Structure 1
Amino acid sequence: MLLNETAEQIRSMEIRGAGRIARAAAAALKDHAETFEGSDIRSFRHFMGEAACTLLATRPTAVSLPNAVRFVMKAMEGAGNVPEAQAAIRRAADSFLLSSKHAIEWIGEIGARHISDGDVVLTHCNSEAALACILTAHRQGKDLEVFATEVRPRNQGILTIRALNDAGVKTNYIVDSAVRSFINDVDLVVTGADAVTVNGAVVNKIGTSQIALAAHEARTTMLVAAETYKFAPRSILGERIEIEERQTDEVLDPAVAATLPHVRVRNPAFDVTPARYVDEIVTEMGAIPPTMAYIIIRDHLGWGIEEFHKNFEFNERMQE
């Protein structure tokens, strides 16, 4: 698939979910590298740098995207010629795709250990990682019941209940605003994440923070399932994660909106859940408290503060 096609599919949410977005970006960079015609390494770096910028501009909130792009692009840093750089990008992209697949499997195994036989679990949005925890527990023979939210305005909950239904999991489908009405019937909340900041705050689909607050009030455990490449390195520097605000026609028909000149429709796609409302974050490296987010960023992703200076210089060279 052409890189611009992938970028448009990510932008339009035809490709959705932080993990799927990251894998699509890595695969697109790999394919794009093979289309370069020429032998000048500086031109190739510029060619790939433009491609990276195109992908990064599609969805501002999911940090899995820049983490995947950085992982693939950094691989060519030491290449001396175009074939070496292309080979490095191929290896890095293949490595990312494989590790991403295994990450979901490991998260499912680890997360399932937190789910007991007879538990009632609530989940929100359509998260591969959160579903892996639930479905792994189900495959282990645990008797589960799930509450799944509608996830307005794009109704991603439909994807979730189909996956649960196909697996034979007893599921209740509820509107987002009904969460507090059912939270006392729930033993465990499991959601995914689009980003995790250095202080353990979780950026996820809009409505997650309200669910976490209701769970906190009800003393219901709140688990977040997230691959380590969803941790946000730039939050070390105090940089805030941009919350994407999508088109208003997802919420209100334009014909109706035209009759309401004094009404402004707001459609943020994500919200931020403070770390104090999250009990554990389940990653492929293990289940950690939110306070350990910095350790993941520094030791596993390799982003200390000094790394940002090196990365800035590398990005400058790519754009030369």
Structure 2
Amino acid sequence: MKPVDQYSSLTVAIQALRDDRTLGASELARMGLRIAAETARQYRARSTEELITYLNLAADQLAHTRPSMAPVWNLLQQWRNSLGTLAKHDLEFARATAITAAHSLEELSIHASRAAARNAARMIEPNSTIITHSLSSTVVEVFRQLKGRGIRVIVSESRPLYEGRNLATLLSGMKIPVTLITDAQIGIFCREAAVALTGADCILEDGAVVNKAGTYLLALASRDQRVPFYVCYESFKQRLPDMESFTLESMDPEELGTPKPSAISVKNVYFDITPRTLVDGWITEQGAKVIP
């Protein structure tokens, strides 16, 4: 963020966070915290009160960028809450503390994700086949920890932007055998798996899972074929009562690459909700809750 263009730079950064289609919820939340830290560093306030007022506004805007992703809201709200203790301090101390708080929350999120991945890796037997959908940084860490244990991974391509292809490339680079399938083949290949494992963008109050559209179909196929369906995530993804305006985000229909005659309505809903009744295990940095 350039000091000479602080207002427009924040707007551009917020728009980039809103428009991103490649990063998962945890990574976007950390991106939001980095934007918050940079805003605190660059904003030319004349007093502590002015700085806190502006940072509260920035935090509110950042928190509302991705209404399907709980960690974006949760982590930015935690950062915003930390600003309330700074009012009695001088300007530069308040600035430095706000920056440190954002970086500390980012590190806390990273450590939580790694711990959740370790807990998930302990639950998967050597030489297992795992089926997954979409691209979760936490699930990638699970696979990284399972490297060398003989696992094989089945990856759906995850339309419309095919992040499953990126995951398949990552796994190939780790020397983990991987099979890439279309989303429509999930029901065919699910029976080959010992476990289905996905990340999450949000966990609702009742344990239902918000994740990339297609996760619900994987959970249905898993239940029908008696394959346990686990979700691995950091606890920051739990939707809290104060999270406002939860919605399932829809994106540009043109991403589907379909013709657009006036008589055709094209939908591109990015997320779906898997009911808790289809989930066999919730795995976080705090441990695992598994349905017998």
- What TM-score do the two structures reach when normalised by structure 2? 0.91
Could you tell me which residue of structure 1 aligns to residue 4 of structure 2?
none
The alignment status of 1:228 with 2:229, answered yes or no, reads: no
Post-superposition shift, 1:240? 6.9
Deviations 1:54-75 (A, max 9, x none): 3234322111111111121111
Alignment of 1:241 onto 2:242:
no
Q: Do the aligned residues in 2 keep the contact of 1:223 with 1:280 (CA within 8 Å)?
A: yes
Separation in structure 1 between the aligned mates of residue 190 and residue 22 of structure 2, nearest angstrom = 31
Could you tell me whether the CA contact under 8 Å between 1:206 and 1:269 is conserved in 2? yes
CA contact (8 A) 2:63 2:77 kept: no
Does 2:218 match 1:211? Answer: yes
Q: Which residue of 2 aligns with 1:189?
A: 196
Counterpart of 1:146 in structure 2 is 153
3-state secondary structure, aligned to 1:220: coil
Aligned to 2:58: 51
Are the equivalent residues in 2 in contact too, given 1:9–1:15 (CA < 8 A)?
no
Paired with 1:70 and 1:130, the residues of 2 have a C-alpha distance of 25
Deviates more, 1:85-94 or 1:198-207: 85-94
Secondary structure of the structure 1 residue equivalent to 2:155: strand
Residue identity in the other structure for 2:208: A
Measured after TM superposition, the shift of residue 267 of structure 1 is 0.7
The CA deviation string for residues 250-285 of structure 1, in whole angstroms up to 9 with x for no partner, is 1135xx20xx21211111000000011111111111
Other-structure match for 2:5? none
User: Would the alpha carbon gap of residues 157 and 6 (structure 1) be closer, same or farther in structure 2, given more than 3 Å must change?
Assistant: same
Q: Is the 8 A contact 1:10 1:16 kept in 2?
A: no
Is residue 111 from structure 1 mapped to residue 120 from structure 2 by the alignment? Answer: yes
Q: CA deviation at 1:15?
A: 5.7
Q: Does 1:278 pair with 2:283?
A: no
In structure 2, C-alpha distance between the alignment counterparts of 1:154 and 1:101, rounded to whole Å: 25
**What is the aligned partner in structure 1 of residue 38 from structure 2?**
31
Partner residue in 2 for 1:178: 185
Percentage identity across aligned positions?
26
Question: How many residues are aligned here?
Answer: 282
Q: Name the structure 2 match of 1:250.
A: 255
SS at 2:282's partner residue?
Answer: strand
CA contact (8 A) 1:15 1:21 kept: no
AA matched with 1:196: I
Q: Distance in 1 between matches of 2:115 and 2:229?
A: 19
Q: 1:7-50 deviations in whole A, cap 9, x for unaligned?
A: 22222216621111011111111110122223333322321122
Q: Which residue matches 1:160?
A: 167
Structure 1: unaligned runs, 5 residues or longer: 291-320
Q: Which amino acid aligns with 1:247?
A: D
Structure 2's unaligned 5+ residue stretches are 2-8
Q: Deviations over 1:145-199 (max 9, x none)?
A: 1100110111111210111000000000000010001111111011000000111
SS at match of 1:70: helix
